[in-house]
Amino acid sequence: MPPLVEMRGITRTYVMGDNLVHALRGVDLTIEHGSSLAIMGTSGSGKSTLMNIMGCLDQPTKGNYLLNGRDVARLSRAQLAEVRGRMIGFVFQSFNLLSRTSALENVETPLLYQGIPAKDRHRRAMEALKKVGLEGREDHHPNQLSGGQQQRVAIARALVTDAPVIMADEPTGNLDTKTSYEVMTILQGLVKDGKTVILVTHETDIAAYAKRVITLRDGVIVSDKQQEPLDAAAAAALAKPPGAAETVQAGQP
């Protein structure tokens, strides 16, 4: 099997009026199937740009990109959308859920685009919601769910197509510590199931749950390390729920 991702000399230059922004300046990166990778770096270092290219949401200005052995650097928009739909589930910092739509319908959406019949859509969306611990919440709308629950819906939506790769851009960026660990627990579970999880984060604390960490600076990779990932479930069990400290103090004489 070819590597999941094989990038050589990837650059991405944005044109802003008369200025050129060199967001990526030559990235070489190989990612194997079934791994977990955290992409770190300060704001503006090119993390989202790299993830967008990796996820076929955008294309490089220069360079070669093979996704699962297929050259995707110069596909048409329609071809890119097809590859994306088959290969990748996305999770974003801001959840990106449809607000007037139930959790179940949100999760069903990608299957709707794939033309899956209603009955199968319903069954698969229910399974995905169960997998992220949201059984019984399928009729709730996003505004009736906590941030952590909304992110779980987003993860269920990324899972429902059974894509082999989950890409998450700052998935814990809007969540408290305990909820962040709970989200990381779900992502680590997916890696155990054989999926590849690629996440962008600027928090060292979150990157500790991935098997490999690369760091970007000014559009190039400046470090690439393998590590023994920490156990997110253990961290979630130990972390205090938000507001716990105040509750304890209020109860003291």
Interface ranges with Mg ion (CB under 5 A) = 47-48
45 is in the binding site of which of ligand ADP, Mg ion, none (Cβ under 5 to 8 A by kind)? ligand ADP
Query: Whose Cβ is closer to Mg ion: residue 220's or residue 239's?
Result: 220
Smallest gap, in angstroms, from Cβ of residue 56 to ligand ADP?
A: 16
18 touches ligand ADP (CB under 6 A)? no
46 touches ligand ADP (CB under 6 A)? yes
Query: Whose Cβ is closer to Mg ion: residue 108's or residue 169's?
Result: 169
Give the pairing type, strands 62-67 and 5-16: antiparallel
41 is in the binding site of which of Mg ion, ligand ADP, none (Cβ under 5 to 8 A by kind)? ligand ADP
Query: Whose Cβ is closer to ligand ADP: residue 34's or residue 44's?
Result: 44
Give the pairing type, strands 212-217 and 70-71: unpaired
Contacts 24+ apart (CB under 8 A), 201-209: 201/38, 201/39, 201/40, 201/170, 201/171, 201/172, 201/173, 202/40, 202/41, 202/42, 202/43, 202/47, 202/170, 203/172, 204/40, 206/38, 206/172, 206/180, 207/38, 207/40, 209/36, 209/38, 209/184
21 touches ligand ADP (CB under 6 A)? yes
Which listed residue (34, 44, 173, 189) binds ligand ADP by CB under 6 A? 44
Smallest gap, in angstroms, from Cβ of residue 172 to ligand ADP?
A: 15
Q: For residues 88 and 194, give the distance between their C-alpha atoms in angstroms, rounded to a whole number.
A: 14
Q: How many residues bind ligand ADP (CB under 6 A)?
A: 12
Residues found near ligand ADP in the complex (CB under 6 A): 14, 16, 21, 23, 41, 43-49
